């Protein structure tokens, strides 16, 4: 049975599997982390400017339509092969959903809420940190969730430009028509993507202030 | 009934497009594996067949050795260029041999049982050459693959998707030379030399006829323990396709006889180094030999 | 772009292949999602199950999905189209169902009061009114499908991805640029056109 053969492949090549899995998780986590670190502050900074937010959303929407493989491939002539170029490309892929959601979420915060807080004497920074961001958190996390799946998915393609990861098993499996090896790449990659989706979904729900939860 | 009409038209349109997408059947479908030499040779074969009056469809850049073989066996292509050593070790999974004629005879006989015809072999042996940058060779005093085995633990290898699993790849290097690299990276075959030049990797499993080896003045390490069998280039054709178009044999044998290592390496360099299109390089070659006008 | 000048025919062929498989996949997805979406609009259970299952499909990484289909359908276009349809279903089913549900209840009641049959209400009232939302889903599905088609070149489905993979195989940047930028342009153009249609439909519905 194919699944058993796939399992036996992992057992026979533990180092190789562990290495690919580690690289895949490292690439995904790092890209996601970098994207969050860049997109959320930018979204916050632009929250006050209508035009700025519009521009950011338009640019990010443009970025959202770019095929993942195209971005990975286009980075290659510029940065060469390996982990770092793949990381660069994956970070670029993760930025749009997070940026769009951060901007949209902050814009949608109830103006009355903000006025009330200001009226109570809070500074801009206090309003942002204690009122706007918490309220915006669920939507921001929805964006992070989308980005995380995109990144895990994109990391599969990184194999082609020498970035390593679970994609290596898929391309090797295709080259050698070794179906068990294909599964060794495809199934863990799918599980990682589902896991990321589940994890950030959980975080999204946990971080939603109790008063705002739908259930 | 505005919406209904639109939906029905869309449906009909989709069916038509789906059927239209099915290509008209060409007489012969030429395939290739996924690296430069394969693109060039497949184009040479294709254009030679066209010159002989056969209609050709190209299905190049198939993902690897076994997927090309599968495409052949499942009648998705009619022929593609392969190497006798690869056929022996990777496809037939038979033990290695050193005599070119013995290898040729064996693969020819075994393939015949699968309904595949192996035509004449070209005078070029595209074997593996482990290559390193000249500085690396100087630093570690590397002349042979055995020398490489001494220092492999400090070096990074870069290779295509098949090398880790082929009997003549990493497993072979390990069992015959005891080689274990510090790290081995997998990448698209065409990116190896860029990664080597950029020092992202230190060793590459070069192909003997790779144009970039001399262009980058890389050091070829001698296979002193004879890990690798001969890898002579041959066209592999489906018997039925050959029976339907007997001219294939003459056309391909004729061009194969003209492909020796210096010629192939020069053509490879034109694509990899000078960035010409494989089909143009193939055309120029066939023109020079008077097969195409 | 000297390469482009000499090889624009290659690019056009790739673009044509890309559009054909994308369109075919979208058409199939559209019909499937109409059927399932209409059922999901009527039943909360169907909705939840459909979204859960298609959501799972959507999360599978593209190359992994294509690879998993190889033992079943082999390589080539069929494989690619199945993958593209699978990825489009979630958003389209969701939008068909939500679009239909958002049609004001009193409009449907009025139609029923006039003696219209269920199927006529669906065809002449609910679906047309749901169209803007449906097209919004189609828009996202289109971008998704174009993106998948780029990767599908790896399993011999043709399309703009062949230029990208070929460029990587030969370490030839212009091919990568042309393949990459053309696929981006195609996705953006499709997105903008459908956005326009969506806006026009919403405007018309008011």
Task: Examine the pLDDT at B1 and tell me if it is beyond 50.
Answer: no
Give the gyration radius of chain A's Cα atoms.
Answer: 20
Cα atoms found within 13 Å of the Cα of residue A2, Cβ hemisphere only: 15
Q: Which residues of C touch A69 (CB under 8 A)?
A: 147, 150-151, 161, 164
Tokens of C202: 């919403």
Q: Is residue A59 part of a domain?
A: yes
CB contact under 8 Å between A176 and B160, yes or no, is no
The band of A48, judged by pLDDT with boundaries at 50, 70 and 90, is confident
Same domain, B118 and B140: no
In degrees, rounded to 5, the angle at the alpha carbon of residue B41 between the alpha carbons of residues B35 and B44 is 140
| Whole-model pTM over 0.80 | yes
Range of the domain at B195: 128-221
pLDDT for the residue B2: 46
* CA-based nearest residue to A174, from B107, C69, B159: C69
Question: Mean of the pLDDT values across residues C88-97?
Answer: 92
Task: Examine the pLDDT at B21 and tell me if it is beyond 50.
Answer: no
User: Which burial class, exposed, middle or buried, applies to C18 when counting CB atoms under 10 A from its CB (0-12, 13-18, 19+)?
Assistant: buried
pLDDT tens-digit map of B115-171: 999 999 999 999 999 999 999 999 999 999 999 999 999 999 999 999 999 999 999
pLDDT for the residue A110: 78
Same domain, B214 and B139: yes
User: Which burial class, exposed, middle or buried, applies to B99 when counting CB atoms under 10 A from its CB (0-12, 13-18, 19+)?
Assistant: exposed
Residue B204 is part of a domain; what is its CATH number? 3.40.190.120
Q: Are the C-beta atoms of A88 and A161 separated by less than 8 Å?
A: no
Q: Minimal Cα–Cα distance from B169 to chain A, Å?
A: 12
pLDDT for the residue B12: 58
Q: Which residues of A touch B158 (CB under 8 A)?
A: 81, 162
Question: How does strand B128-132 pair with strand B219-221?
Answer: antiparallel
Task: Examine the pLDDT at C42 and tell me if it is beyond 90.
Answer: no
Same domain, B277 and B139: no
Q: Are the C-beta atoms of B236 and B45 separated by less than 8 Å?
A: no
Question: Mean of the pLDDT values across residues A159-178?
Answer: 90
Q: Which residues of A touch C183 (CB under 8 A)?
A: 67, 70
Same domain, B254 and B270: yes
**Lowest mean pLDDT segment, chosen from A173-182, B13-22, C73-82, C129-138:** B13-22
CA distance A166 to A185: 5
CB contact under 8 Å between B187 and A160, yes or no, is yes
pLDDT for the residue C84: 94
Task: Examine the pLDDT at A215 and tell me if it is beyond 50.
Answer: no
A63, A70, A173: best to mutate for the C interface, most C CBs within 10 A: A70
Q: Is residue B137 part of a domain?
A: yes
Q: Which residues contact A38 (CB under 8 A, 6 or more apart)?
A: A91, A95
Q: Provide the 10 A C-beta neighbour count for residue C45.
A: 9
Q: Is residue B115 part of a domain?
A: yes
Q: Provide the 10 A C-beta neighbour count for residue A119.
A: 8
Tokens of B18: 């789906």
Q: Minimal Cα–Cα distance from B5 to chain C, Å?
A: 10
Tokens of B165: 């699993």
Tokens of B205: 């499993």
pLDDT for the residue A77: 83
Q: Which residues of A touch B165 (CB under 8 A)?
A: 172, 176, 178, 181
Same domain, B103 and B239: yes
pLDDT tens-digit map of B225-274: 999 999 999 999 999 999 999 999 999 999 999 999 999 999 999 999 89
Cα atoms found within 13 Å of the Cα of residue B42, Cβ hemisphere only: 28
- Ordered DSSP codes for chain C: -HHHHHHHHHHHHHHHHHHHHHHHHHHHHHHHHHHHHHHHHH-HHHHHHHHHHHHHHHHS-HHHHHHHHHHHH-SSHHHHHHHHHHHHHHHHHHHHHHHHHTS-HHHHHHHHHTT--HHHHIIIIIHHHHHHHHHHHHHHHHHHHHHHHHHHGGGT--STHHHHHHHHHTT-HHHHHHHHHHHHHHHHHHHHHHHHHHHHHHHHH-
* CA-based nearest residue to A85, from A149, A136, A158, A147: A158
Q: Is residue A43 part of a domain?
A: yes
pLDDT tens-digit map of A122-140: 887 888 788 888 888 888 9
* Domains in chain B, number: 2
Q: Is residue B109 part of a domain?
A: yes
User: Three-state DSSP class for B220?
Assistant: strand
Range of the domain at A182: 2-209
pLDDT for the residue C5: 78
The band of A74, judged by pLDDT with boundaries at 50, 70 and 90, is confident
Alpha helices in B169-209 (DSSP H): 170-172, 192-197
Q: Provide the 10 A C-beta neighbour count for residue B4.
A: 11
Q: Are the C-beta atoms of A131 and A123 separated by less than 8 Å?
A: no
pLDDT for the residue A57: 86
Task: Examine the pLDDT at C1 and tell me if it is beyond 80.
Answer: no
C15, C63, C151: best to mutate for the A interface, most A CBs within 10 A: C63
Q: Is pLDDT larger for residue C96 or for residue C118?
A: C96
Q: Give one word for C118, left, alpha or beta, with left for phi > 0 and alpha for psi -120 to 50.
A: alpha
pLDDT for the residue A123: 83
Same domain, B41 and B162: no
Q: Is residue A215 part of a domain?
A: no
Query: B80 phi and psi, to 5 degrees?
Result: -160, 160
Q: Is residue B98 part of a domain?
A: yes
pLDDT for the residue C70: 85
Q: Are the C-beta atoms of B220 and B207 separated by less than 8 Å?
A: no
The band of B59, judged by pLDDT with boundaries at 50, 70 and 90, is confident
Q: Is residue A156 part of a domain?
A: yes
CB contact under 8 Å between C28 and B59, yes or no, is no
Same domain, B137 and B216: yes
Q: Is residue A34 part of a domain?
A: yes
Q: Is residue B146 part of a domain?
A: yes
Q: Is residue B13 part of a domain?
A: no
Residue A10 is part of a domain; what is its CATH number? 1.10.3720.10
Task: Examine the pLDDT at A24 and tell me if it is beyond 90.
Answer: yes
CB contact under 8 Å between B195 and A181, yes or no, is no
pLDDT for the residue B16: 54
Q: Does A86 touch chain C (CB under 8 A)?
A: no
Interface of C with B (CB under 8 A): 3, 6-7, 20-21, 23-24, 27-28, 30-31, 34, 74-77, 123-124, 127-128, 131, 154-156, 162, 165-166, 168-172, 174
All chains having 3 or more CB pairs closer than 8 angstroms to chain A: B, C
Q: Computed from CA positions of residues B220, B207, A171, B104, in that sequence, does the dihedral angle turn out positive or negative?
A: negative
> Edge to edge, what strands does the sheet with B128-132 contain?
B183-186, B156-159, B203-207, B128-132, B219-221
Interface of C with A (CB under 8 A): 56, 59-65, 67-68, 70-71, 143, 146-147, 150-151, 154-155, 161, 164-165, 167-168, 173, 176-177, 179-181, 183-184, 187-188, 191
Q: Is pLDDT larger for residue B18 or for residue B169?
A: B169
Q: Provide the 10 A C-beta neighbour count for residue B256.
A: 23
CA distance B27 to B31: 13
Q: Is residue A214 part of a domain?
A: no
Q: DSSP assignment, residue A21?
A: H
* Domains in chain A, number: 1
* CA-based nearest residue to C55, from B162, B279, A197: A197
What residues does each domain of chain C span? 2-205
Same domain, B144 and B120: no
Task: Examine the pLDDT at A166 and tell me if it is beyond 60.
Answer: yes
Query: B31 phi and psi, to 5 degrees?
Result: -110, 175
The band of A5, judged by pLDDT with boundaries at 50, 70 and 90, is confident
The band of B6, judged by pLDDT with boundaries at 50, 70 and 90, is low
Question: Mean of the pLDDT values across residues A44-51?
Answer: 83
Q: What is the 3-state secondary structure (H, E, C) of A141-156?
A: HHHHHHHHHHHHHHHH
Same domain, B34 and B86: yes
pLDDT for the residue B20: 46
Going from the C-alpha of C145 to that of each of B33, B287, C85, C190, the distances in angstroms are 27, 42, 8, 11
H or E element, residue A34: helix A14-46
pLDDT tens-digit map of A81-118: 889 999 999 999 999 999 999 998 888 887 888 888 88
Q: Is pLDDT larger for residue A116 or for residue C48?
A: C48
Task: Examine the pLDDT at B224 and tell me if it is beyond 70.
Answer: yes
CA of residue C43 relative to chain centroid, distance: 24
What's the mean per-residue pLDDT of chain B? 90
Fold of C2-205: MetI-like fold (1.10.3720)
The band of B10, judged by pLDDT with boundaries at 50, 70 and 90, is low
Same domain, B118 and B133: no
């Amino acid at each position: 049975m194919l699944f058993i053969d796939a399992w036996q492949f992992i057992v026979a090549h533990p180092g190789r599997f562990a290495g690919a899995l580690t690289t895949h998780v490292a690439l995904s986590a790092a890209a996601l982390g970098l994207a969050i670190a860049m997109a959320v502050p930018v979204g916050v900074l632009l929250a006050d400017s209508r035009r700025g937010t519009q521009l950011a959303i338009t640019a990010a929407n443009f970025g959202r339509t770019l095929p993942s493989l195209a971005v990975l491939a286009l980075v290659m002539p510029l940065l060469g092969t390996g982990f770092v170029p793949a990381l660069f490309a994956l970070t670029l892929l993760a930025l749009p959903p997070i940026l769009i959601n951060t901007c949209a979420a902050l814009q949608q915060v109830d103006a009355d809420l903000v006025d009330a807080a200001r009226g109570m004497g809070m500074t801009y920074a206090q309003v942002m940190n204690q009122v706007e961001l918490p309220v915006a958190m669920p939507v921001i996390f929805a964006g992070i969730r989308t980005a995380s799946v995109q990144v895990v998915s994109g990391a599969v393609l990184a194999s082609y430009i020498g970035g390593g990861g679970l994609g290596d098993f898929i391309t090797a499996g295709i080259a050698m028509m070794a179906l068990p090896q294909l599964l060794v790449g495809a199934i863990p990659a799918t599980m990682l993507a589902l896991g990321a989706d589940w994890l950030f979904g959980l975080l999204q729900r946990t971080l939603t202030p109790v008063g705002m939860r739908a259930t | 009934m505005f919406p209904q009409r639109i939906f029905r038209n869309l449906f009909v349109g989709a069916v038509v497009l789906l059927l239209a997408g099915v290509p008209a059947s060409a007489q012969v479908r030429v395939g290739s594996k996924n690296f430069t030499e394969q693109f060039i040779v497949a184009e040479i074969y294709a254009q030679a067949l066209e010159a002989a009056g056969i209609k050709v469809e190209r299905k190049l850049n198939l993902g690897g050795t076994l997927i090309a073989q599968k495409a052949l066996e499942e009648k998705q292509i009619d022929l593609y260029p392969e190497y006798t050593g690869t056929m022996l070790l990777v496809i037939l999974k038979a033990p290695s041999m050193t005599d070119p004629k013995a290898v040729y005879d064996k693969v020819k006989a075994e393939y015949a049982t699968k309904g595949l015809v192996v035509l004449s072999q070209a005078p070029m042996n595209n074997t593996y050459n482990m290559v390193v940058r000249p500085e690396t060779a100087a630093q570690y005093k590397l002349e042979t693959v055995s020398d490489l085995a001494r220092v492999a633990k400090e070096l990074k290898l870069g290779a295509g998707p098949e090398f880790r699993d082929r009997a003549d790849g990493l497993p072979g290097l390990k069992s015959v030379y005891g080689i274990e690299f510090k790290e081995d990276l997998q990448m698209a075959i065409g990116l190896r030399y860029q990664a080597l030049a950029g020092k992202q990797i230190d060793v590459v499993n070069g192909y003997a006829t790779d144009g970039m080896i001399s262009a980058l003045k890389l050091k070829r390490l001698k296979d002193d323990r004879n890990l690798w069998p001969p890898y002579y280039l041959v066209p592999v054709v489906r018997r039925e396709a050959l029976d339907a178009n007997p001219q294939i044999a003459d056309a391909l044998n004729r061009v194969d006889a003209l492909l020796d290592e210096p010629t192939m390496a020069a053509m490879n360099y034109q694509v990899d180094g000078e960035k010409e299109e494989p089909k143009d390089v193939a055309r120029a070659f066939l023109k020079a030999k008077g097969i195409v006008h | 772009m000297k390469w482009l000048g000499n090889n624009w025919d290659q690019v056009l062929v790739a673009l044509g292949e890309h559009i054909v498989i994308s369109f075919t996949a979208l058409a199939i997805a559209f019909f499937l999602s109409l059927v399932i979406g209409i059922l999901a609009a009527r039943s909360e259970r169907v909705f939840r199950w459909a979204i859960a299952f298609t959501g799972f499909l959507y999360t599978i990484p593209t190359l992994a999905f294509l690879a998993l289909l190889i033992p079943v359908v082999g390589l080539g276009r069929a494989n690619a189209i199945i993958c593209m349809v699978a990825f489009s279903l979630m958003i389209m089913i969701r939008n068909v169902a939500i679009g239909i549900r958002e049609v004001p209840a009193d409009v449907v009641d009025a139609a029923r009061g006039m003696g219209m049959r269920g199927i006529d209400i669906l065809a002449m009232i609910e679906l047309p009114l749901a169209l803007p939302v449906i097209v919004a889903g189609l828009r996202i599905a289109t971008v998704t499908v174009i993106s998948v088609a780029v990767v599908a070149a790896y399993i011999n489905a043709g399309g703009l991805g062949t230029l990208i993979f070929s460029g990587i195989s030969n370490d030839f940047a212009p091919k990568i640029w042309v393949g990459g930028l053309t696929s981006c342009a195609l996705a953006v153009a499709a997105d903008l056109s459908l956005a326009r249609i969506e806006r026009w439909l919403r405007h018309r519905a008011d």
